[in-house]
Amino acid sequence: GSTVSLQLPDEYLCYGSRLVARLSDHCGEHARFVILGDTSYGSCCVDVVAAQHADARAVVHYGDACLTRVRGMSVYYVFPRAVLDTEAVANAIAASLGPDKRVALFVDGSYEHCKSELAEKLRPRVLDLVCSQTMLRQDTDSLPTTASSPRLEGHPIPENTKMETSASTSSGSGGDASTALLDDASRAPCQTISVCGRECSLPSTLARESFAVCFVGPECAWWTLAMTCLHTFELYRLDPETVQCVQVQRSMNRALMRRYYLIERVRDADVVGILVGTLNMERNIEVIDHLRKLIRESGKKSYTVVIGKLNEAKVSNFLEVDAFVTVACPLSSLLTDEALSSKGDMVFASKYKPVVTPMELQIALDSEAEWTGS
C-alpha cells in the first residue's frame, strides 16, 4: 500500500506507537505509516523533504500549523482539541469590549472545534461579530487524484475550514509569505483580515477600523505575528487559563519600536547572512535571489545558509556576519530574542546580531522603501 508520513510535534511523540497501531488496524494493508519524529524545520511547518525520503504520498500534520502552502505533497492537518468554557469566555469578552463593539474573532487552532459554539454565545452580546476561517492552500498538482475530500478518519478538517488550490488563490499570496501576509493585513481596499492561515471576511459596507480584533488563545508565535500585522486595530487577547480579556495595544508600540531598531541596525551591517529556514515554502528560491540582489546592490556582502531550526548555537558560528534575515514560514520569520535563546536573555541577538524578516530587510536597504509601522 501507499506510505503516509505522520508528522508529530515533540509533545505528541509519546503517542506515536499507539497512533500507528490504530491507523494500521483501520487501514490494513492499504497504507503504511511512518512517524517523522525529528523534523528539519519548525514543528509548525510540513516537512516535505523528510516525507519524500520515506517515499510518502501524503503527510498528516498534527498540532499547531503555520498553514504555509507547500509543494509536491498532499497534506492533511489534524489540530489539537483543548477544553474551553465557552460561556465564561463569551462573558469575559463581552464585559471587556462592551455591547457597542464590532468584533473580529480569531481562535487558537486548539479551539477551532468549539469556535461555532463560542460565536453563538458571544454574538448577542456585541454589536457585530465576524469569525475567522482557517485557510488551507495546496497546489492542484500535489493533490492525489483519488482524494476528493481531505479527511482523516476520526479527525475531519473543521466544517468552517476552506480548502483552496493555487488556481483559486489571489496572486498576492504567492510570494514571500511573511511579506505577503503583512501586505494583506494592511491593504485598505480589501475587506479581509488575514494572518497566517486564518482569515476574517468583513462586510463591505463597514470600515475595517470599526472592528476590534479579539484572539482566544495563549501567547504564541501566531499572536505575535498578528499584533505586528494588525497593530492599527484595537487588539484584545483572552487567556483561556485565566479567562481574562485584556487590550494589548500599548505593548505593541514597544514591539514596533523594537522592529524599527533592528531595521536601523541592518542598515549599518557590512555582511548579511540569509538564513533559509525551510525548503518547502512556495517561491522561496525567488525570495532568496531577490534578497541576494538587494544586498549586493546596497554594497554589502551576503552568505546563504540552510540552517533548519534556528537557535543561538547555530547563529554563533558566523562571527563575521553582522545581521541576519530569515527566509521561513511567517511564524518562524518574526523572531524574538527569547525564541533564539533557551535562556531567555539572548544578548547575542539583542546587542550584536539583529535578525529581521525579508520585508524589514527591504525597508532597511531600499532607499525608496519607507517605514510606516504597518
Lowest mean pLDDT among 103-112, 168-177, 184-193, 265-274: 168-177
- Cell triple for 41: 524545520
- CA distance to 110, 231, 243, 274, per residue, from 83 (Å): 9, 29, 12, 41
Give me the phi and psi of 275, to 5 degrees please. -95, 110
- pLDDT band of 25, cuts 50, 70, 90: very high
What pLDDT, on a 0 to 100 scale, did the predictor assign at position 250?
Answer: 61
- Alpha carbons within 13 A on the beta-carbon side of 213: 30
Question: How far is Cα 192 from Cα 265, in angstroms, rounded to an integer?
Answer: 33
What pLDDT, on a 0 to 100 scale, did the predictor assign at position 253?
Answer: 64
Q: Is the dihedral of CA 121, 124, 125, 126 positive or negative?
A: positive
* pLDDT exceeds 80 at position 347: no
Average of pLDDT values for 200-210?
A: 86
Asked if residue 202 lies in contact with residue 104, where contact means CB atoms within 8 angstroms, the answer is yes
Q: pLDDT, tens digit, for every residue of 109-138?
A: 999 999 999 999 999 999 999 999 887 654
Radius of gyration in angstroms for the set of CA atoms belonging to the chain, rounded to a whole number? 21
* pLDDT exceeds 80 at position 279: no
Long-range contacts of 140-147 (CB under 8 A, 24+ apart): 140/165, 140/166, 140/167, 141/72, 142/70, 142/71, 142/72, 142/73, 142/74, 143/74, 144/57, 144/58, 144/74, 147/74
- pLDDT band of 290, cuts 50, 70, 90: very high
Question: How far is Cα 42 from Cα 37, in angstroms, rounded to an integer?
Answer: 12
- pLDDT band of 49, cuts 50, 70, 90: confident
- CA distance to 90, 94, 98, 294, per residue, from 124 (Å): 10, 9, 11, 51
* pLDDT exceeds 50 at position 188: no
Q: How far is CA 94 from the centre of its chain?
A: 27
Helix (H, G, I), strand (E, B) or coil at 60: strand
Question: How far is Cα 267 from Cα 81, in angstroms, rounded to an integer?
Answer: 44
Asked if residue 23 lies in contact with residue 33, where contact means CB atoms within 8 angstroms, the answer is yes
